[in-house]
Amino acid sequence: MVAAFAGHKSVKMVKVEDENALKKDKELEKKHPSLTVPYLKTSSGDVISTPTAIMSYIGRSSTDAKLYGSTVFEEGQVNQWIAWAECLGPCMEGIQQMLFNTPKDLDMKKFNALVDELKKQVTPLNNYLKGKQWIVGNSVTMADIACAAVLTPAF
């Protein structure tokens, strides 16, 4: 998800090779005690973690792009679709974990059940998008980015 913001002027991508190295950064630990990834360190040095919080920060800091919509109603819709995308996480995680198994270890019955469940879960979005280019409004919003980030591994 954070990769979607790589071009944003206030975001610097840092690849964490060793998550244990995070625990050695005492300055980071003061501002980010859980030391979870992903996290975003702002230009002021403050830290925000969790994908939704990071998206909210970046979306609201890009007022010219209107990533949270053009109206208060559209902002509500964006938040609604972000929450919807978060609910897909467990199903997507199950599918991804199974895909990392070797072919002989892949339980096809369980895998197909997860794929069928995912198809059911994305039906509302598919129906909602008929005749539309974007999920909310007339341009890309955080709703589009959140749904794309969650669903991309399925493809």
Q: What is the pLDDT of residue 17?
A: 56
Query: Left (φ > 0), alpha (ψ -120 to 50) or beta: where does 86 sit?
Result: alpha
Selection from 115, 116, 137, 136 nearest residue 125 by Cα: 136
- Give, as one character, the DSSP assignment of residue 3: G
Q: For residues 57 and 119, state if they share a domain.
A: no
Which range marks the domain in which residue 34 is found? 2-61
pLDDT at 126: 93
* Shared-domain flag, residues 76 and 149: yes
pTM across the whole model: 0.68
Question: Given 10, 36, 61, which residue is the final one in a domain?
Answer: 61
78 and 15 together in one domain: no
Beta strands in 1-155 (DSSP E): 39-41, 47-49
Peptide bond into 38 cis (omega under 30): yes
Q: Which of 13, 30, 61 is the last residue of a domain?
A: 61
Same-domain check for residues 54 and 77: no
- What's the average pLDDT block by block, 10 residues per block, for the chain (155 residues)? 47 57 66 69 78 79 81 93 86 75 73 86 93 94 89 78
- Per the listing, tokens 């840092």 go with 14
Report pLDDT for 6.
46
Neighbours of 149 (CB within 10 A): 16
Residue 132: C-alpha distances to residues 68, 119, 136 (Å): 17, 20, 9
On whether both 40 and 79 belong to a single domain, the answer is no
Residue 23 within a domain: yes
Query: Are 81 and 148 in a shared domain?
Result: yes
CATH number of domain containing 82: 1.20.1050.10
pLDDT of residue 4: 44
The reply to whether 150 and 76 lie within a common domain is yes
Residue 78 and residue 138 in one domain: yes
Q: How many domains does the chain have?
A: 2
